[in-house]
């Protein structure tokens, strides 16, 4: 059984990677820093996007309720 799975993975892997590369949209189209084909400064772009989003570091409104519930246990 392991041999069959190994052969299937060997056959499937190059085809899957090619399919993903062919179907992936460019960064400009979807606005995701992870879509950069070269991976150029991907994390810098991600952090810039994160830091420019409104209230990204705010806590959710029910944060205090969670803390209160934890202290009762």
- Identify the domain containing residue 24 by its residue range: 2-72
- Check whether 25 has a pLDDT greater than 80: no
Q: What is the pTM of this model?
A: 0.39
Q: What is the pLDDT of residues 26-51, one digit of tens each?
A: 666 667 766 666 666 777 888 888 88
pLDDT bucket at 7, cuts 50 / 70 / 90: very high
Between 32 and 4, name the one with better pLDDT.
Answer: 4
- Check whether 73 has a pLDDT greater than 60: no
Count CA atoms closer than 13 A to 1's CA, side-chain side: 0
Q: Number of structural domains, the chain? A: 1
Q: What is the 3-state secondary structure (H, E, C) of 16-55?
A: HHHHHHHHCCCHHHHCCHHHCCCCCCHHHHHHHHHHCCCC
Average confidence (pLDDT) over 8-19: 85
């Amino acid at each position: 059984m392991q041999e069959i799975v190994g052969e299937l993975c060997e056959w499937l892997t190059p085809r899957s990677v090619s399919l993903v590369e062919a179907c992936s949209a460019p960064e400009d189209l979807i606005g995701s820093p992870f879509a950069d084909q070269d991976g150029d400064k991907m994390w810098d772009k991600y952090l810039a996007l994160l830091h420019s989003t409104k209230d990204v570091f705010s806590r959710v409104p029910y944060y205090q309720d969670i803390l209160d519930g934890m202290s009762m246990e």
